[in-house]
Structure 1
Amino acid sequence: MTANNFKDQVAIVTGAGQGIGFEIAKQLSLAGACVLLNDLSEELTAQASDKINALGCNCYPLAGNAADLDFIQQMVDVAVRQFGKLTIAIANAGITLFGDFLDYPAESFQSVLNLNLQGSFFLAQRASRQIIQQKSGGSILFMSSVTGHQAHKHLAAYGMTKAGLEMLAKSLVVELSPYQITVNSVAPGATLTERTMEDAGYQDTWSRITPMGRPATVQDVANAVLFLVSPQANHITGQNIIVDGGWTAVSTSPY
């Protein structure tokens, strides 16, 4: 994205204290957007916002639970109060809880659904209401996963939610296109983040089984996201982009 490609745009990015979400928030900010940056952790939210603002950008931190309906509305209200409007909402916050299907606890199932589906659904709803009120048009983006396309051991609940988000993006085309709101999703494959790099063998394993010879970087995923919420993609809606170096084409198991 070129500098100032997002001038006069205002975005909410959830789950952006580190990893993919942070990179999305940073790249949007560097491209001219005003960004409300959210994470559950107050410390990560503040640190991430400080890093972006140190680059000369306009990023506002707001820590809180992106699955909570009242807090979702608060994010929209604060974005509008801080920046005057809202034009982009990126539902990046999500939780991965591994577990054998036969023993998977209801508590884990509910936690995954609450954040991955409820949080994403209602951020899209509340952001869309604001965008419609403004008559400005805008973009909604959901963060899916390759596990929404290919079976992955011990991720039945997680994969189900990610497939659901892609269907949600398609469904909302019918409801939001009349208001010039695009709705898309991005499905990352194996990606190098602070969390995944805690696994000593992660990079080597995914480099071996990914056709392009390496896992994704957070920049790879952010590039796809920024394209889909940019003016260059204003006639693309209801679509999903997989960013996995070709892994879903061969689906070699990491196990």
Structure 2
Amino acid sequence: MTPTLPLLHNQVALVTGAGQGIGFAIARLLAQHGASVLLNDLDETLATRAATAIQQAGGTCHPLAGDVSDVAFLQHMVDEAVRQFGSLTIAVANAGITLFGNFFAYQPEALDRVMQVNLRGTFFLAQAAARQMRQQQRGGSLLFMSSVTGHQAHENLAAYGMTKAGIEMLAKSLVVELSPLGITVNAIAPGATATERTLEDATYEQTWARLTPMGRPATVDDIAQAALFLVSPHARHITGQSLVIDGGWSSVSPSPY
């Protein structure tokens, strides 16, 4: 009997902002399903620790620390993925920042930083990855990280929500240019998710369990499983879409405030 190949056999993935949280869960799951993974984080210690954990679990993973708002670094990441693993077939633009702030007091510096990381970083990673995929002539998958705040208003997150709505429009717009190359481009929009950062608030899980129709916030694995599907061969005819993963919260949208 011929052995069954892993779902992502012969695939090479780049995942940004993957030192912990959702990004790490995505990188780990892609590696578990056979992809070779270039794992990025701004924090070199987090990137190295995360890659080591994936390696120790039997996955193939290489860390690379750097700032995704730096366009030159984005190209370097793509080049490094190719140097390490021979190609690039999946790029997950997960890195992003949230800078809360009252609209009347929000500062230009904060807006610029959110735009640089969330929008600029996603746009130019997509560009660099798609150029590489075009050169390879074997298609590929791009996946962007949006948020329910790109769909529903949330207090003190006007700037953040604006970038996430923009990311979803980017996924839709790129269908025109990337579909002829066999490259899919989609976004996922998590709702409340239990991560190392969100759980610093001791009331987070209890609050969002009460507000979420499914009775709990998402786990990072809930988000990672959706990401795995969208970059896998199972989703080869899905492109330009945004998938909300929020346990039903955006259907009713109660505020935590």
Provide TM-score, normalisation by structure 2.
Answer: 0.98
Taking only the aligned residue pairs, the percentage that are identical comes to 66
Q: For 1:130-145, what aligned pairs fall within 5 Å after superposition?
A: 130-145=132-147
How many residues matched? 254
* Alignment partner, residue 124 of structure 1: 126
Q: Secondary structure at the match of 1:12?
A: strand
Matched, 1:97 2:86: no
1:20 corresponds to: 22
Matches within 5 A, 1:49-88: 49-88=51-90
Residue identity opposite 1:173 in structure 2: V
The one-letter code of the counterpart of 2:181 is Y
Do structure 1's residue 159 and structure 2's residue 161 form an aligned pair?
yes
Q: Match of 1:202? A: 204
Partner of 1:15, secondary structure, is coil
Query: Secondary structure in 2 aligned to 1:191?
Result: coil
SS at match of 1:221: helix
Contact residue 3 and residue 30 of structure 1 kept, 8 A: no
C-alpha distance in 2 between matches for 1:240 and 1:204: 27
SS in 1 for 2:31: helix
Match of 2:247 among 237, 245, 248: 245
Distance 1:57 1:213 in 2: 33
- Post-superposition offset of 1:66: 1.0
Moved over 6 A (4+): none
Instruction: Name the residue aligned to 2:227.
Output: 225
Tell me what 1:172 maps to. Answer: 174
Gaps of 5+ in 1: none
Is the partner of 2:72 in helix, strand or coil?
helix
Would the aligned equivalents of 1:184 and 1:240 in 2 still touch at CA under 8 Å? yes
* TM-aligned CA deviation for residue 3 of structure 1: 7.1
Displacement, 1:178?
Answer: 0.3
In structure 2, distance between residues paired with 1:3 and 1:18: 28
Report the equivalent of 1:148.
150
Work out the CA distance in 2 between the residues paired with 1:230 and 1:45. Answer: 24
Deviation, 1:38, is 0.1
Residues 204-249 of structure 1: CA distance to partner in whole angstroms, max 9, x if unpaired? 0000010000000000000111100000000000001100000000
Distance 1:207 1:35 in 2: 33
Does structure 2 conserve the Cα–Cα contact (< 8 Å) formed by 1:144 and 1:165?
yes
Structure 1 equivalent of residue 192 of structure 2: 190
Query: What secondary structure is seen at the aligned counterpart in 1 of 2:101?
Result: coil
- Aligned CA-pair RMSD: 0.8
Deviation string, structure 1 residues 90-113 (Cα, Å, up to 9, x no partner):
000000000000110000000000
- 1:185 touches 1:239 (CA, 8 Å); kept in 2? yes
Write the distance in 2 (CA, Å) between the matches of 1:67 and 1:23.
22
Taking the aligned partners of 1:186 and 1:67, their CA distance within structure 2 comes to: 20
Shift of 1:116: 0.1
Q: State whether residues 3 and 31 of structure 1, in contact with CA within 8 Å, keep that contact through their aligned partners in structure 2.
A: no
Unmatched runs of 5 consecutive residues or more in structure 2: none
The alpha-carbon deviation at position 4 of structure 1 amounts to 1.1
